[in-house]
Amino acid sequence: MCTQTLVLDIRNLKSHFFTAKGEVPAVDGVSIQVPAGKIIGLVGESGCGKSMTAMSIMGLLRYPGKIVDGTITLDGRDITHLRPKELAKIRGNEISMIFQEPMTSLNPVYPVGRQVQEAILLHQKIPKEEAKKRVLEIFRAVGIPEPEKRYHSYPHQLSGGLRQRVMIGMAMVCRPKVMVADEPTTALDVTIEAQILRLMKQLCDEQGTSIILITHNLGVVAEICDYVYVMYAGKVMEQAETFSLFEQACHPYTQGLLQSIPKLDEKVEWLHTIKGVVPNLLHLPKGCSFCTRCSQAGRRCFEEQPGLYETIQGHGVRCFQYESGVRLDGE
């Protein structure tokens, strides 16, 4: 997709869950290329595999989940199957993550400032006083009021928005090469959301940090993302530069997502919706996973799985309508 230097290269990633009812392909052959200093948007409905992709990248999948195929390369190093001790040296330092629910991610018996400071001391050999100073600086940067006071606060003493800002600060404090942000502004009001998004953009521009932004908000994607990957039922259905995707969305699923965005300059009685629901991953259609909801589906769509085809340079679509283009997934 991109000819720039890649800091994170994910190829044909497959993460399955082995349950009593069968094998669930939560992530099914996902390939994502993350150039240095760029923001990658990962979008799609709930249950499409976005968060499972993030957990796989971070090496956080636990039984019954397992990476069964593919590679994850960070700055030229294959980290797909590293041992826990080796991963611990990388997580938080070279690659970090902002989790969707901060209350379950923060330790309830330690002050939040100490938890962020611990992340610094674990990876960088600096004095505790210097680490604390950096914690207070990052607290100010993410908009936490009275940072000296909040440094000593416990998670239950903070609002949901403040806890989320602590998590964002923890992910940013070591200035990682890659940051995975899973719905990072969900609990924040629009003013703080704009502030956090500006801070993330600044981190990319000044520190060269790359960001994978998982979100439902296509407005946010349009504002700060350089590239977009649209996921559905564990697969990438469309990938493109942000402008190209919004200017000319090709896949029927992407078109449906964009049409569902309310427009201020139009009076409508009903918002557009995509009919049906995301299929059960235990009982996926034989052909295209979107065929049961697609108004353009033909007989072949119900019988064969389409590849990912390039329409124009850097714009890939998983649809038979574009099979005259070069196949990108190599299957």
What number is the average pLDDT over the span 43-57? Answer: 92
Q: Locate 180 and state its tokens.
A: 């995975």
Average pLDDT, the chain: 89
Please indicate whether residue 269 or residue 109 has the higher confidence score (pLDDT). Answer: 109
Question: Please, which residues have CB within 8 angstroms of residue 243's CB and are 6 or more apart in sequence?
Answer: none
Cβ–Cβ < 8 Å for 187, 176: no
- pLDDT of 268 higher than 80: no
Q: What is the model's pTM?
A: 0.91
Predicted pLDDT of residue 172: 86
Q: How confident is the model at residue 194 (pLDDT cuts 50, 70, 90)?
A: confident
Q: How confident is the model at residue 231 (pLDDT cuts 50, 70, 90)?
A: very high
> Closest Cα partner for 196 from 164, 226, 158, 228?
164
Over residues 123-149, the pLDDT tens digits come to 888 999 999 999 999 999 888 999 999
Residue with tokens 């019954």: 64
Q: Determine the Cα–Cα distance for residues 122 and 85; give it in Å rounded to an integer.
A: 13
Pairing of strands 309-312, 315-317: antiparallel
Q: How confident is the model at residue 7 (pLDDT cuts 50, 70, 90)?
A: very high
